[in-house]
């Protein structure tokens, strides 16, 4: 029996903000944020009540922009009117795989974006474009801080995706160890800052990830 010691560590990068707000949670948050916006048109209320409705979901600056653009005053109080082209609303995301989620660790921001293709027909017409919502941490809570509409994918998103692709490209280097008795083998691959060990035995594959050095007995 021989002992092979692989003396490297598996790196596990943790980002507090990302762990506290997953893709699913972010999308659910945006759904609730949109409901908060549209609820302002369901009844008349004071300006403060309108502002308080938006507070859990939007930064002060963004809430002010939205209210200045959409809130109207009548004798009964403040309300909003529906419109297909109203500004500063949460986009009509599909909330499918087409709705992308990216966490920017350098800026501690979250980007949710989707590509909208020009409709072939229908009452609403627009050209191909991207719609991006930027979330920031505001006193410990994620909130919508900016909306970006662009004909091309925003440069700050492309930059993050390119960096991620660069880090997660597999090099050509790989080694395998093949015992003669049971015909199993172990392959090692380096994936960015992670190390992946793949074990095969009788066509069954197992992937191992651990923080401490790994030791295999044959």
CATH of the domain at 67: 3.10.450
- Does 213 fall in a domain? yes
> Quick one: 118 and 209 in the same domain?
no
Separation between Cα atoms, residue 57 and residue 63, nearest integer Å: 9
CA nearest 55: which of 74, 78, 71, 32?
Answer: 32
pTM of this structure: 0.67
Reduced to 3 states (helix: H, G, I; strand: E, B; else coil), residue 158 is helix
Does 107 share its domain with 198?
A: no
* CA–CA separation, 48 and 19 (whole Å): 33
pLDDT, one tens digit per residue, over 53-77 is 999 999 999 999 999 999 999 999 9
d(Cα 39, Cα 50) in Å, to the nearest integer?
A: 9
Which stretches does DSSP call E strand in the chain?
3-6, 71-74, 77-80, 100-104, 109-116, 129-138, 141-150, 175-177, 185-191, 194-201, 204-208, 214-217
Tokens linked to 182 = 């049971």
In a domain, 1, yes or no: no
Whether residues 203 and 131 share a domain: the answer is no
- Show the domain range for 81: 16-165
For 167-201, write each residue's pLDDT tens digit.
654 444 443 444 444 444 444 444 444 444 445 44
Q: How sure is the predictor about 21, in pLDDT bands with cuts at 50, 70 and 90?
A: confident
Domain assignment present for 46? yes
């Amino acid at each position: 029996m021989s002992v092979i010691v692989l003396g490297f560590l598996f790196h596990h990068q943790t980002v507090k903000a990302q762990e506290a707000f997953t893709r699913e949670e972010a999308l659910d948050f945006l759904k609730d944020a949109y409901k908060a916006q549209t609820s302002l048109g369901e009844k008349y209320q004071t300006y403060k009540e309108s502002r308080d409705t938006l507070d859990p979901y939007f930064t002060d600056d963004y809430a002010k922009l939205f209210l200045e653009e959409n809130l109207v005053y009548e004798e009964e109080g403040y309300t909003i009117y529906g419109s297909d082209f109203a500004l500063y609303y949460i986009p009509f995301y599909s909330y499918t795989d087409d709705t992308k989620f990216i966490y920017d660790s350098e800026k501690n921001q979250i980007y949710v974006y989707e590509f909208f293709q020009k409709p072939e027909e229908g009452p609403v017409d627009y050209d191909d474009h991207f719609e991006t919502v930027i979330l920031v941490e505001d006193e410990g809570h994620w909130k919508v801080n900016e909306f970006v509409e662009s004909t091309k994918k925003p440069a700050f998103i492309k930059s993050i995706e390119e960096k991620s692709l660069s880090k997660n490209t597999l090099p050509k280097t790989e080694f395998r160890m093949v015992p003669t008795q049971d015909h199993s083998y172990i392959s090692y691959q380096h994936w960015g800052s992670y190390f992946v060990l793949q074990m095969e035995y009788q066509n069954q594959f197992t992937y191992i990830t651990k923080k401490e050095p790994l030791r295999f007995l044959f």
